[in-house]
Amino acid sequence: MFTNPMWNAFALGSLAVAVLIGCGKTSPPESNQQPDASHAASASDQDDVHITADDVKRPADYAAAVARITSYRDTIRDEIAAGRPSKAHRPLDEMNFIVEWLPEIAQQSNVPKENWEALNTAAQTIRTLLDKVHEKIDNGDQPDFNAVADGIQEAIDTLEAIHKSDANSRSPETNGNESDAPDQ
């Protein structure tokens, strides 16, 4: 899959987290069992719909992925603030796929290797913090987005800084090396 063992470890870890955490229950209780409280809350939540990677449009490049992460964060925050936390299910689920794909997208977008560790750390921070919000929603509790907002913003700032530093390193105006300019 990836040529770098660090990418492989991150991808496997991300996949394991996505499989273990997921959103809602995927199978109904057996007919002789009563559903538990979290399943009852999930079953009554019409916004908690199982999605797969095929349901999510993959960003074309690293910049688009970071923009999508920021957009999802805004939607999640706004839905919770408006008293509609169940409406945050879809962006939370889609965000998990984008964060999972981010290392591969960054590699395909030629993000320099020296930024990979910071990128991975920021992506995992976003996932971990939003999983706390998602868990509260799944349990029928009121999520406290403000409790995680600063950490998410710091991680997004890191992802954006990586993009800006990468873009600046490619710009002939900033590095003074005209040979790096694309042929016209």
Residue-wise DSSP of the chain: --SSHHHHHHHHHHHHHHHHH-SS-SSPPPTTSPPPHHHHHHHT-TT-----GGGSPPPSSHHHHHHHHHHHHHHHHHHHHTT-GGGGHHHHHHHHHHHHHHHHHHHHTT--GGGHHHHHHHHHHHHHHHHHHHHHHHTTPPP-THHHHHHHHHHHHHHHHHHHHHHHHH-HHHH--GGGSPP-
Which has more confidence, 17 or 149?
A: 149
Please indicate whether residue 41 or residue 128 has the higher confidence score (pLDDT): 128
> In angstroms, how far is CA 130 from the centroid of its own chain?
8
d(CA 135, CA 38): 10
The share of the chain scoring above pLDDT 90, in percent, equals 61
**Residue 30 corresponds to which tokens in the numbers above?**
């057996």
Q: What is the pLDDT of residues 80-117, one digit of tens each?
A: 999 999 999 999 999 999 999 999 999 999 999 999 99
pLDDT grade for 46, boundaries at 50, 70 and 90: confident
pTM over 0.85: no
pLDDT reported for residue 3 = 59
pLDDT beyond 70 at 45: no
Over the chain, what is the mean pLDDT?
Answer: 78
Give me the mean pLDDT over the 62-76 stretch.
98
For residue 13, the tally of other CB atoms under 10 A from its CB is 14
pLDDT-derived band at 5 (thresholds 50, 70, 90) equals low
Domain residue limits, the chain: 72-171
Check pLDDT > 80 for residue 13.
Answer: no
Give the confidence band of 49 by pLDDT, cuts at 50, 70, 90: confident
pLDDT single digits (tens) 127-180: 999 999 999 999 999 999 999 999 999 999 999 999 887 665 654 444 434 333
Residue 2 has pLDDT above 60, yes or no: no
* Residue predicted with more confidence, 49 or 110: 110
Half-sphere exposure of 43 (CA within 13 A, CB side): 10
